[in-house]
Amino acid sequence: MKREPPFTFHVSPSFPPHPSPLTFHPLPLLEIGHPNGPVLLSGRGSLLQVLGVAFGVAVLVGNTIGVGILRTPGEVAGHLPTTGLFLTVWVVGGLYALLGAMSLAEPGAMIQRSGAQYPIVHRALGPYPGFVVGWSDWLSTAASLSLMAIVFAEYAAPLLPDFPARMQVIGCGLVVAFGLLQWRGVKSGDLAQQLLTAAKALAFTALAVAGLVMTIPDRADAAAVALPTGGALFAAAILALQSVIFTYDGWTGPLYFGEETVDAGRSIPRAMIGGVLVVVAIYLLFNIAMLRVVGVEQMAGNPFVAATAGTALFGTRGDLILRLLVLCSILGGINALTMMVSRIPLAMSRDGLMPARFNTVNAGGTPTVTHWTSIGIACGFILTGTFNTVLALAAFFFVANFVFSFTSVFVLRRTEPDTPRPFRVPGFPYTTGLVLLGSVAFLAGSVISDRSNSMRSLLLLAASWPVYRMIVKYRGQ
């Protein structure tokens, strides 16, 4: 899932800126035929297998491309202020995302369960690692949904009349509105995702093309930024790559809908690989345009690169154009997160790791109890302003979850060598090993760079064990 960084993003200084009672009685389960084995469904309705490759690409692109791409180029240029190195790190980050997507497409196509990384880790490493991955992913997805809604409110506020608690009202209203849309059924979410993602992709592409073809006014030469050397250059490259990889995050989107995807064995790999390639193309096109309009020297350390380019291209209308671009971008992400967040606790409920009533799906294919519970949690984060805290604590689990997931690919190859795999990772074990080592390195970097929140996250991890044991005992596992 896409984690936007926990900050309030501004395009320019003048431009202000993811129920029922808890009962744990097991439900009677039904087994239905499935090409890769039985899928367990409750008697309370089932998910609908109606989603195709187009939706998978749309949810990946919609969940990945957010306001981060408008901010990250300035950070990367600040670390690597030369055109060649700047573009190289974006290409390397795209290759890393592609290898990661191919690696998790294998178990996703094999297991074909909705719930993102949770079903993969649960099957490979067992219930407790799955529990940790599922809980952290669920809460951080709800927090990301809250952050996106608040950022949308901040950008939309100047276009609306002032009224008390405006940010909270707009944010919660937006989350509830998308909640009502998804409540109608998965087909409504599918259509909305494809339309919103198409609009987002077209908007970013149009801005990039404008930057490549329009005449730009002469700009004052910026002072050259010294390129670090030796160990400092290596450290700068790592920091730049870290920012880029976080900006590419979101490519797990299709895994949230495994059993809802038609011909998932073929569709999930196609959606994940195709979606990543679309994102890489848009990011490279956008950054090349920013280099032409602004220049790498002026980009270095500038958090308002897109606003600077917009002003150069469109004059006084630049702020409005960038504002509309941000709003369009956020809507696709909110729709994706609203669909994704409910699938995690549904999958956990089926395995006895969440309340039994969470395993309820309406006729339209929406997991009703987990859907509205997740909407309520997201609104609670908005009203209390706690989403930044949750995301800061979840940063540790975000990286750790990828360590668990890539490790699961190796474990499943060893424990289930004969299970049919519609898709196999090219270059295994080297490709998956590379992204696993990268995830371990990023996890170490996360602990070193933010020791305070990492220690709190480790305490939460320790506290999760007794909670897990209590839930398992209460549901009679």
What is the C-alpha to C-alpha distance for residues 256 and 254, in angstroms, rounded to an integer? 5
What is the C-alpha to C-alpha distance for residues 197 and 250, in angstroms, rounded to an integer? 13
Phi-psi region of 349 (alpha: psi -120 to 50; beta: other; left: phi over 0): alpha
| All domains of the chain in start order, with CATH | 29-474 (1.20.1740.10)
Residue where the block lists tokens 């670390």: 79
Sign of the Cα pseudo-torsion (39, 43, 44, 45, in order): positive
pLDDT at 8: 40
Q: How confident is the model at residue 270 (pLDDT cuts 50, 70, 90)?
A: very high
What is the C-alpha to C-alpha distance for residues 427 and 433, in angstroms, rounded to an integer? 10
Averaged pLDDT, 420-440: 93
pLDDT at 280: 95
Could you give the 3-state DSSP secondary structure of residue 288? helix
User: Residue 17 in contact with residue 247, Cβ under 8 Å?
Assistant: no
Assigned token pair, 375 = 């909407």
pLDDT at 193 over 80: yes
Q: Which helix (H) or strand (E) holds 236?
A: helix 230-248
Strand partners, 29: 42
Nearest to 259 by CA among 365, 139, 134: 365
Per-residue pLDDT of 106-115, as tens digits, reads 999 999 999 9
User: Residue 4 in contact with residue 68, Cβ under 8 Å?
Assistant: yes
User: Residue 184 in contact with residue 335, Cβ under 8 Å?
Assistant: no
User: Residue 327 in contact with residue 254, Cβ under 8 Å?
Assistant: no
Question: For the whole model, what pTM was predicted?
Answer: 0.83
pLDDT at 97: 94
Q: How confident is the model at residue 323 (pLDDT cuts 50, 70, 90)?
A: confident
Per-residue pLDDT of 439-455, as tens digits, reads 898 888 777 777 777 78
Q: What is the number of residues in the chain?
A: 477
Per-residue pLDDT of 238-265, as tens digits, reads 888 888 888 898 899 999 999 999 999 9
What is the C-alpha to C-alpha distance for residues 221 and 139, in angstroms, rounded to an integer? 46
User: Residue 277 in contact with residue 64, Cβ under 8 Å?
Assistant: no
User: Residue 19 in contact with residue 374, Cβ under 8 Å?
Assistant: no
What is the C-alpha to C-alpha distance for residues 289 and 233, in angstroms, rounded to an integer? 25
The b/e string for 5-39 (b: 16+ C-beta within 10 A; e otherwise) is bbeebbbbeebebbeeeeebeebeeeeeeeebeeb
pLDDT at 25: 33
